[in-house]
Amino acid sequence: MRRGQLLSFDAMLSLVIVILMLGMITSTSSALKDDITIMLGWYERANIGDNMLDIIVKNPGVPSDWESNPSNLAYLGLENTKYPNTIDYKKIEALNKAYTNGEASLKSALVNLSMGKDFTLGFYLTRIEIEGDVTVVPPNVDGSVDIPWGGRLSITPTHGYAYGNPIVDIVWAYPLRTDLRGTGGIANITNLTAGESFVFKLAEDADVRVDIPAPGGPQNYNIPAGATVYIDVDSGWLLIGWNRLNDGTYELWIPYHREGEQVTTTWTGTIWWGQQGGVSSTNLTIRYVYATKVVNADYNMTMINGTFVDNPSIIKASMDRSPWITYTERRIPMTKMLYNETYTVTPDALPEELYIGTIYTTIPDYMALKIAFNNTGYIVMVAWMRGANISGYSVMAAYKTAADSTMKIIVNQTINGKTYIKSYISESPYYAIIPWKEFLTQINQGESLDIYVWVYEMKNIDEAVITDLNGIDTIMKPQASLAVLKLWVWDDS
């Protein structure tokens, strides 16, 4: 380097290299910054759906019982506090109702949850579908007789009449309980008390005779073969002896007696007979549809720029304008128990689910279902039952006719492949009551029973009131089933 020379060639070359390196570093830093920004934006978009669903399904919300008053909602969550790691059907229902009503507290909670992004959230729930035809034939009364207190009543075969002979060729009878043990050749005794009824069906080649006490001697009433006979006990008590025969039919002693001795009538009531009537179903199908097979969401909610939107074309246009869309879903257990003490049902909303849950203990005798309506017509209810040792369904018709305004109930029940027919008669023209254990079925202590109950059909009835008497909900718990939550998130800002 000469004196007075500012930079040597080597120094200049080094300076140029340093400048080039600084330029490259600056350029690389800017590119890296852009890449990091892009990556952070992608990460935020990719995770916003997961984060939203995690928050929804993993906490109960604030307050934890917000479903009882959605206007108090501050922080959205669907977890069932009594059954962790499940979501609560009641909260889904409350969420949908608040969305439909445009609840301001829900809007605020969803804006915070989505960080201002646009989204559609769909709920796909496991469901039970029921369809098929139900036929109801009310009984036709051909004859009846009132039973007075005292004297000696007997129901015996028409041919070969003798007091105390059993009536045979009984196709079916109900209820056949063993309230007492019989003597001699009579194995079982059913003890009917006030308010109960006994029903039996005669074979087509069997007829019976009813002898009732009357001044001047007994009065005789012949009941034709093939008839269905109803015995309604209004007061006192009636003992009926019965045996099941090898051919599947029954023999009955009405009233039960010892060694042919005549017994004094210990009850008042009515015996009536005629066409059996009944309720039957054709191609009744009950399907359990898993949430993963559900095509259309049970509930959908969409928010765009902080506003609830239901118009599909507006939603699609908003999604088309967004530079990105993410999709996320969750499959999670849902707890569901459907119960109200009283329902008012109308024909335009059928079939309508009334009761869903799991009965976890024996059903007490005093728990019953009350059906009330004013019109002449009928209402059909269907129950589906599933348990470890039980599978079946019941089709029940409550009806009254113009000829007889007394309300009656017929149940056609199939449990584990066996069919049972049950009948009940009310003292009132306005309502009828059936024990829950008879409409559903009884279980043993330690067993459980999943139940689903619908009002399925109403004919010539404007409105019916269905009431649970004495709290069957106290022996029920929620059922667990699968729910699928599907979430689309985008940005149309």
CB atoms < 10 A from the CB of 9, how many? 9
* CA distances to 241, 315, 320 from 268, in Å: 18, 71, 79
Mean pLDDT of all residues belonging to the chain = 86
CA gap 307, 323 in Å, rounded: 20
For residue 39, the model assigns a pLDDT of 44
The residue ranking higher by pLDDT, 318 or 16, is 318
The residue ranking higher by pLDDT, 259 or 156, is 156
Q: Do 252 and 166 share a structural domain?
A: yes
What total of structural domains would you count in the chain? 2
Residue 40 pLDDT class (50, 70, 90 cuts): very low
The answer to whether residue 135 scores a pLDDT higher than 90 is: no
For residue 221, the model assigns a pLDDT of 84
Residues 6 or more apart whose CB falls under 8 angstroms from that of 95 comprise 67, 70, 76, 78, 106, 299, 301
Residue with tokens 């499959």: 331
Q: Do 229 and 157 share a structural domain?
A: yes
Give the tens place of pLDDT for each residue, 434-449: 999 999 999 999 899 9
The residue ranking higher by pLDDT, 109 or 260, is 109
DSSP 1-52: --TT-S--HHHHHHHHHHHHHHHHHHHHHHHHHHHHHHHHHHHHHHHHHHHH
> What is the Rg, in whole angstroms, of the alpha carbon atoms belonging to the chain?
36
Instruction: Examine residue 360 and state whether it is found in any structural domain, yes or no.
Output: yes
Q: Do 266 and 151 share a structural domain?
A: yes
The residue ranking higher by pLDDT, 202 or 336, is 336
Instruction: Examine residue 55 and state whether it is found in any structural domain, yes or no.
Output: no
Q: Do 473 and 343 share a structural domain?
A: yes
CA gap 482, 87 in Å, rounded: 10
The two tokens of residue 453 are 């109950």
Mean pLDDT on 163-167: 76
Instruction: Examine residue 262 and state whether it is found in any structural domain, yes or no.
Output: yes
What angle is formed at CA 432 by the lines to CA 429 and CA 436, rounded to 5 degrees? 180
DSSP 77-119: --B-TTSTTSEEHHHHHHHHHHHHTT-HHHHHHHHHHHTT-EE
Instruction: Examine residue 224 and state whether it is found in any structural domain, yes or no.
Output: yes
Strands 464-469 and 368-372 come out as antiparallel
Q: Which residues pair with 26 in a beta bridge?
A: none
CA gap 489, 319 in Å, rounded: 9
The answer to whether residue 483 scores a pLDDT higher than 90 is: yes
Q: Do 342 and 270 share a structural domain?
A: no
Of the given ranges (51-60, 112-121, 193-202), which has the lowest mean pLDDT?
193-202
Q: Do 461 and 364 share a structural domain?
A: yes
Of the given ranges (179-193, 201-215, 337-351, 462-476), which has the lowest mean pLDDT?
201-215
Mean pLDDT on 231-249: 89
Q: Which residues pair with 412 in a beta bridge?
A: 395, 421
Strands 352-359 and 476-477 come out as antiparallel
- The pair phi, psi for residue 458, each rounded to 5°, is -135, 135
Q: Do 462 and 357 share a structural domain?
A: yes
Q: Do 270 and 375 share a structural domain?
A: no
The residue ranking higher by pLDDT, 33 or 480, is 480
Instruction: Examine residue 281 and state whether it is found in any structural domain, yes or no.
Output: no
**Cβ proximity of 178 and 116 under 8 Å:** no
Give the tens place of pLDDT for each residue, 296-330: 999 999 999 999 999 999 999 999 999 999 999 99
The residue ranking higher by pLDDT, 55 or 269, is 55
Mean pLDDT on 346-367: 94
The residue ranking higher by pLDDT, 381 or 222, is 381
Give the tens place of pLDDT for each residue, 136-151: 766 667 788 888 877 7
The two tokens of residue 402 are 């113009």
Mean pLDDT on 72-82: 95
Give the tens place of pLDDT for each residue, 196-209: 888 888 887 777 87
Domain limits at 256?
140-276
The answer to whether residue 31 scores a pLDDT higher than 60 is: no
The two tokens of residue 350 are 């059928």
Whole-number percent of the chain with pLDDT over 70: 86
Residue 12 pLDDT class (50, 70, 90 cuts): low
* CA distances to 263, 374, 394, 475 from 472, in Å: 40, 25, 18, 6
For residue 263, the model assigns a pLDDT of 74
Instruction: Examine residue 238 and state whether it is found in any structural domain, yes or no.
Output: yes
Q: Do 473 and 356 share a structural domain?
A: yes
Mean pLDDT on 270-291: 79
Instruction: Examine residue 303 and state whether it is found in any structural domain, yes or no.
Output: no
Instruction: Examine residue 14 and state whether it is found in any structural domain, yes or no.
Output: no
Q: Do 366 and 473 share a structural domain?
A: yes
Of the given ranges (192-206, 231-245, 329-343), which has the lowest mean pLDDT?
192-206
For residue 45, the model assigns a pLDDT of 59
The answer to whether residue 225 scores a pLDDT higher than 70 is: yes
Residues 6 or more apart whose CB falls under 8 angstroms from that of 19 comprise none
Mean pLDDT on 116-128: 96
Q: Do 346 and 238 share a structural domain?
A: no
CA gap 379, 146 in Å, rounded: 29
For residue 408, the model assigns a pLDDT of 85
| DSSP letter assigned to residue 195 | T
Q: Do 263 and 158 share a structural domain?
A: yes
